[in-house]
Structure 1
Amino acid sequence: MMNIFRLAGDLFHLISIFILIHKMSTSKSCAGISFKSQALYLLVYVTRYLDLFWTFALYNSTMKIIFIGSSAYVLHLMTGPFKPTHDPNIDTFKVRYLIGGAAILAVLFPYKWTPAEILWTFSIWLESVAILPQLFMVQRTGAAETITTHYIFALGAYRALYIPNWIYRYLTSTFWDPLSVIAGIIQTVLYSDFFYIYYTKVLQGRKFELPV
């Protein structure tokens, strides 16, 4: 069901993609961007949007193709022309724990015991923590370029807006998806410190720096 919260969330998602690709293309660099987070997001979209092979709806299918295609393109830039600008020494978050945890939860608590539903559940849990390698990089360096912080903020706003989307759907049609709500809350909580510093520094025209 379409509503203003979902539309706004999708808009922020598209904005985050545009900001990221624009930053990398104009600077000819992927410095400050976590390859591991980007790889996790591609894994999220590939496992979630398997229904592209058997269902089609203009809006939803277009968005799914954009998300998969843009994530693959970003990884191409990071492993190809801009690879020398990525520093793996600071992109060191152990993502196997995130993937393993999401896989365990997906097997234990799927809506249905089918491969498609298990993979969909896996993608929901994984997306809730996929930003951690990126936030970890920012924490390690103690600062970030302004345009990178805009990207992270837009990505966080996208997921935060999906929470009122689920509430609105429940109030208007009694449809309730507790898994998506819980995962969205987890992700928003992970962003909370970043949102605060972004509001108090970046939006005030100051450089994004973590408190010492």
Structure 2
Amino acid sequence: MVNGLQLIADMLHLVAIIILLLRICVKTSCADVSIKSQILFCIVYCARYMDLFTVYISTYNSAMKIGYIGVSLLTILLIHLKSRNNNENASHHDSFRIEFLVVPCALLALFVNHEFTCLEVLWTFSIYLEAVAILPQFFLICKIGKAERLTVCYLVVLWLYRVFYLTKWGVKYVNEGSFDFVSVLGGIVQTSIYIAFLFYFIINISRGKNLASNLINSPLTLSSEDNLKEKATSASVYCIPIIPDHSISHNIDIKKVLKQ
């Protein structure tokens, strides 16, 4: 059963990565995808799989390690190219200071680990960093107040991946009476971050802010006054904040539009 839970978790992780790549490829903008989170995940995989050159477990294991590193690098490249082609200033919103995550995780790994060896410290560092690597993504969504459906699906599937890993560790503890303290700690922290974001999501809906529509719908594009009139009317009904398109140099008075 433990192996089955781990397989499901690994497959969910792959599905989450595929959804993210699909999100990047099919949409014209990557404004709601944090490249900083993807950089952190790339650091996680590189640190965790340094044993790729020293330890051979199986072809499947080696292929998964190479795949995670390769896909994370590809994701960063695609986000960078898409942002550059669309002249998007990603750093304006994606402004989370990732050094405040990397440095504390590295220091913690030096002092709290199973064994003070190079590979073990790197593996421990990757566990701690993975637990908080999603924070820039959540910070970005909260800051811009919107996200595509595929981005939300990516985050949900990624959360399910961690839930199945936590379930696996719980089953292992029940059956064997032991568990990996570092892995469980990292999993609990990461799952708690997801739950906190979900709580924020639900609270805003319950207060009538209709954050669900704001998060899932595409950003409003003010391409014309007629288009603005229709969307502004909808916004006034559902309390969805208007997010202007910065490519438009002139200002439009929404109140005047609504009176027309």
| TM-score, normalised relative to structure 1 | 0.89
Matched to 2:127, the amino acid is I
Per-residue deviation, residues 167-189 of structure 1 (Å, max 9, x unmatched): 22223334410111111011111
Q: Partners in 2 of 1:85 and 1:24 — Cα distance?
A: 14
1:53-202 matches, cutoff 5 A: 53-56=53-56, 57-83=58-84, 84-85=87-88, 87-195=90-198, 197=201
Q: Partners in 1 of 2:10 and 2:179 — Cα distance?
A: 20
Matched to 2:173, the amino acid is Y
Percent of paired sites with the same residue: 37
1:30 positional shift: 2.1
The residue that corresponds to 2:246 in the other structure is none
Per-residue deviation, residues 136-189 of structure 1 (Å, max 9, x unmatched): 001101221111100111112111211111122223334410111111011111
The residue that corresponds to 1:24 in the other structure is 24
1:209 and 2:210 matched = no
1:4 positional shift: 2.4
Q: Partners in 1 of 2:81 and 2:70 — Cα distance?
A: 16
8 Å Cα contact 2:32-2:146 kept in structure 1: no
- Alpha-carbon spacing, 1:208–1:194, altered in 2? closer, same or farther (3 Å): farther
1:81 positional shift: 4.6
Higher RCO (C-alpha 8 Å, min separation 6): 1
**The 10-residue stretch of structure 1 (31-40 or 186-195) with the greater mean CA deviation from structure 2:** 186-195
Over alpha carbons, which structure has the higher Rg?
2
Q: Partners in 2 of 1:108 and 1:47 — Cα distance?
A: 17
- Ranges of 4+ aligned residues in structure 1 off by more than 4 Å: none
Q: Partners in 1 of 2:27 and 2:77 — Cα distance?
A: 16
1:61 positional shift: 1.7
Q: Partners in 1 of 2:215 and 2:160 — Cα distance?
A: 20
Q: Partners in 2 of 1:112 and 1:74 — Cα distance?
A: 33
Q: Partners in 1 of 2:51 and 2:122 — Cα distance?
A: 11
- Secondary structure of the equivalent of 2:55? coil
Q: State the Cα RMSD in Å.
A: 2.4
8 Å Cα contact 2:141-2:147 kept in structure 1: yes
8 Å Cα contact 2:83-2:90 kept in structure 1: no
Q: Partners in 2 of 1:8 and 1:89 — Cα distance?
A: 37
Task: Tell me how many residue pairs correspond in the alignment.
Answer: 207
Matched to 1:70, the amino acid is V
Q: Partners in 2 of 1:43 and 1:119 — Cα distance?
A: 10
Matched to 1:74, the amino acid is T
Per-residue deviation, residues 105-160 of structure 1 (Å, max 9, x unmatched): 00011111111111111000000000000000011012211111001111121112
1:28 positional shift: 4.0
Q: Partners in 1 of 2:194 and 2:82 — Cα distance?
A: 30
Matched to 1:80, the amino acid is L
Matched to 1:79, the amino acid is H
8 Å Cα contact 2:13-2:157 kept in structure 1: yes
8 Å Cα contact 2:37-2:136 kept in structure 1: yes
1:3 positional shift: 2.0
